[in-house]
Each structure stands twice: as C-alpha cells, then as structure tokens.
Structure 1
Amino acid sequence: MDKNRLWIIGCVMVMVVVLLGGFVLGIQPQLAAAAAANEERASVATSNAGQSAVLDQLKKDFENIDALNAELAPLSASVPSGTGMPAFVNQLDALAGATQVTLDGFTVTDATPYAPVAAPVAAADPSAASTAEPVPTSSDAAVPTAGVPPVTSAQITETNFASLAVTVTVSGGYANALNFVNGLQTGERLFLVTGITTTAVDAAEGETASGAVSSVITGLIYVLVPTEGQAVAVAAG
C-alpha cells in the first residue's frame, strides 16, 4: 500500500471523526434542546387550555352573580359567619311584638364546636340464637330501636361549624306563646328548639284569671366559624 492511499484513508478517518464529534458536541444537544422546548410548549398549551376553561366558567358564573347573591343572602342570615347576636335579638323583639308576647329574658352561652350526630342503634336480631348463658335483664331497661340515619355532611366539621345554646323567656297567652315558638322555628335565623316549659301566671289581686303563661324556651342557633380559625365567643345576654 503506497503512501498516497494511506494518506487518503487517514484523511477519511479524520473526516468521520470530525463529523461524529460535531454531531455529538453540536447537533445532538441542539436536538435535545428542541425536544425539551417542544415538550414545554405542549405543557404550556395544555395548562393554557385548562385555565381558559376555568376562565370561561368564571365568566359564566359572574353572569349569574346577582342570582347567586340572592340565593346566598337567606343562607347567610340563617347560619351567619359569626354570632350575629344583634340581628338575632332584633328578630326576637320583632317576633314578640308580632305574636303579642312579652320578651322577659334572653341568655346565650359560648359557642360549642360541632359534634357529629351518632346514628341510632339498631335492635338486635331476635332470631339470632345464642349459646351463651342468658343475662337477666330488667323490664324497665331501654330496648334499642332502629331509626332513620341522621343526615350528615363531610363539609361540616368542628373547625368550621359551631352551636350556641340559647334560652328565651316570654310571657303572654298560651296560644301566643305557641305562635312565638313556631316563629322561632320558621324565622330567618335557624333555631332548633330543644325544650319548652310553661308556667301559669297568677292574676293580680282584684283581677280575673288571665290565662297567661310564662314560657321558657331552650334551643340552639348555629354559626360558621371564621376561616382564620378564631374561636367564636359571645357574652351572655
């Protein structure tokens, strides 16, 4: 093999090495960068599409903002964010005047965190046989009965919902007192009546029996706890 052929072969090998080096050091990084840019562009396009859908939904919701606010207003009055005691006292005064009773007293305790309601205990199956020694029971013992499971929501927790125990005392005719209780249960503020006691009011000396009663009504009102997690507390009225 002469020197010219060796020189040609050497030049060809050098050219191949230069091309491979140029591809590895120059072209391949550029191709990788272009591929990464394409992936990022696709990701941004997907993100923009999602944000556009959210924006379209927000625009649609904003078109109905007046209807949503109108729907929210009575719900906020029923279970306000915070105690809302001044508005509730005004409601009691107005209800007392409308039902012709006298509002004699009103107290409210500090808020208590919400506690989930336990489902009723189902009665044991009488057909189930037992090999254990029977246990004597009293005839006065309460027998568990099955009931309708309470309605609960995972969105209502002890951190965002609380109740306040309220006692209201009114005096007036018995029928008027019942109307007052009905007004409490159907009024603007959500009120759960837990008990009511009535006591006849003696007529003053020289007057005929008036049929008036003094009614003590106990119940619960509810509040949404502020999002900052601050405890809701009110002074007894």
Structure 2
Amino acid sequence: MDKNRLWIIGSALMMVLVVALGWVVGIQPQLAAISTANDQRVSVEQTNTGHRASLAKLKEDFKGIDGLDQQLASLNKSVPSGTNAPDYVDQLDALAIANQVTLKGLTIADAEAYTPVAPVAPAVPAAEAGSPAPSPAPTATPTPTAAPGSPPVTNAGITAANFASLSVQITVSGTYSNVLKFVNGLQTGARLFLVTGLTTTAATGSSAPGGTAAPQPAAAPGNDGLVDGSISGLIYSIVAAPDPLAATGK
C-alpha cells in the first residue's frame, strides 16, 4: 500500500471523526436545546392561555362589583360587627317619628352567644289497633324545636363563636294602627329584628290637676284608640375574631 492511499484513508478517517465530533459536541446539544426551548414555549403558552381565561373571568366578575358592594353594605347594616347600639337608637327614633308613635322606653341587654335552632323531632307514629303498647321510654330533657311547618334554616358558618344575639325591649305609645305599623317597620327595617312578643294595653294618659289620671276617651267599635305597646325581640351582631397578637399577649 503506497503512501498516497494511506493519506487518503487517514484523511477520510479524520473527516469522519471531525463530523462525529461536530455532531456530538456542536449539533446534538443545539438540537436538544432547541427541543427543550420548544417544550418550554408550549408550556408557557398553555400557562398564558389559562391566565387569559382567568383574567377574562375576573373582568366579567368585576362588572358586578358595585352591586356586590351595595349588597354588602345592606348586610352590614342588617347584622353589623359589634352591637352598634347608638345607630340602632337613632333608627328607632326615626321609625317612631315616621309612624307617629312615642318611644317611651328601650332596653338592650348584653350580647349572648348565638344558639342554633334544634331540628324538628320526627313525629312518632301512633300504635296500630291490637298491637302491644311500646314500653315507655325514659324521660329526656326537652330541646327547643321550631314550630310545626317551619323547618329551621341553619348555616354551618354561623356559630356561637362568631354570632351573637341581644334581647331588646321597646315600649311605644300611639294609636293601635300606628303601633302595628311601627312593629312592621321593626321587622322590615335596615337592622335585622326578630319579634318574639307584642302586647298592647289602653294608654294610661297624663296626670290631670289634683294628681288623678286624665281619663282617655273610650274607643267605640271600629275606632283606633290610643294604646301602649310593649315589643320584645332580638337583634344580632357579628363577633369579630380576636387579634392573634392580643391573644398571645405580645
């Protein structure tokens, strides 16, 4: 084998080696980098598509933010955070003036933890004729239940830890119809009010000269006489969660 043939074979081997090294060192890493970049681009495009969908939904939801703010403001007036007693007294004064009654007395008790309404106990079927009478069950402590036909509405988010009730006693004086309008205003007003009792008696009137009570004109059938109305009920408030720093004493 002459020297020229050996040089040709050596040159060919060198070219093959250069091509192989170029593929391993230069081309193959670049192709891998391009493949990785394509995979990352597809992943980013998918993420951006999800973000665009979320942004579109947020924009759509934001269109109703004003209505939600109004609803929240109404709910805050209905059941405020804290007793908010001064504002409630102002509401009662305005309601009394609007219905032409005199607010004679108001008592608001301390807040008490909310007690959820117990579910209605199922009715026990009557024993069929001829069947032996069941043995008497041990007497259990009665639990408060809702009136028949009005199943209680419960919410797991309302507990004794975050909800409180305050007993309210209101005394007003005015015509019978106006007292009833006042009670209706209590039930439909801005502050949530549950009427638990209502009594009316003939108005006593003011004292006449000599220390005797001035007689009130008797109300003929169908007439609207003056009465003193005593209304008892409950208002509610949200109990704010304690500050973690205050709870730990730091």
Q: TM-score, normalised by structure 2?
A: 0.62
Root-mean-square deviation (CA, aligned residues, Å) is 4.5
Larger Rg: 2
* Equivalence for 2:242: 230
Q: Tell me if the contact between 1:105 and 1:168 (Cα under 8 Å) persists in the aligned partners.
A: yes
* Equivalence for 2:246: none
CA distance in 1, matches of 2:189, 2:203: 27
Structure 1 counterpart SS, 2:154: coil
* Equivalence for 1:110: 111
CA distance in 1, matches of 2:105, 2:62: 47
User: Counterparts of 1:1-237 in structure 2 under 5 Å?
Assistant: 19=20, 23=24, 33-99=33-99, 100-110=101-111, 112=113, 114-126=114-126, 134-135=135-136, 147-154=149-156, 156-158=157-159, 161-173=162-174, 175=176, 176-198=178-200, 202-203=204-205, 204=207, 205-209=212-216, 211-223=226-238, 225-226=239-240, 229-230=241-242
Give 1:177 shift.
Answer: 3.0
CA distance in 1, matches of 2:32, 2:197: 76
CA offset digits 1:27-63 (Å, max 9, x no partner): 6665555444434333322222222223223333444
CA distance in 2, matches of 1:94, 1:86: 13
Which deviates more from structure 2 when the two are superposed, residues 197-206 or residues 182-191? 197-206
Structure 1 counterpart SS, 2:184: helix
Structure 2 counterpart SS, 1:165: strand
Give 1:71 shift.
Answer: 4.3
Give 1:133 shift.
Answer: 5.3
The percent of aligned pairs where both chains have the same amino acid is 39
Alignment coverage as a number of residue pairs: 220
CA distance in 2, matches of 1:206, 1:160: 50
Gaps of 5+ in 1: 232-237
Structure 2 counterpart SS, 1:117: coil
Structure 1 counterpart SS, 2:187: helix
Aligned AA for 2:194?
L
Q: Tell me if the contact between 1:122 and 1:146 (Cα under 8 Å) persists in the aligned partners.
A: no
Q: Tell me if the contact between 2:198 and 2:232 (Cα under 8 Å) persists in the aligned partners.
A: yes
Q: TM-score, normalised by structure 1?
A: 0.65
Q: Residues 146, 207 of structure 1: CA spacing in aligned structure 2 closer, same or farther, 3 A cutoff? A: closer
CA distance in 2, matches of 1:202, 1:196: 18
CA distance in 2, matches of 1:119, 1:28: 73
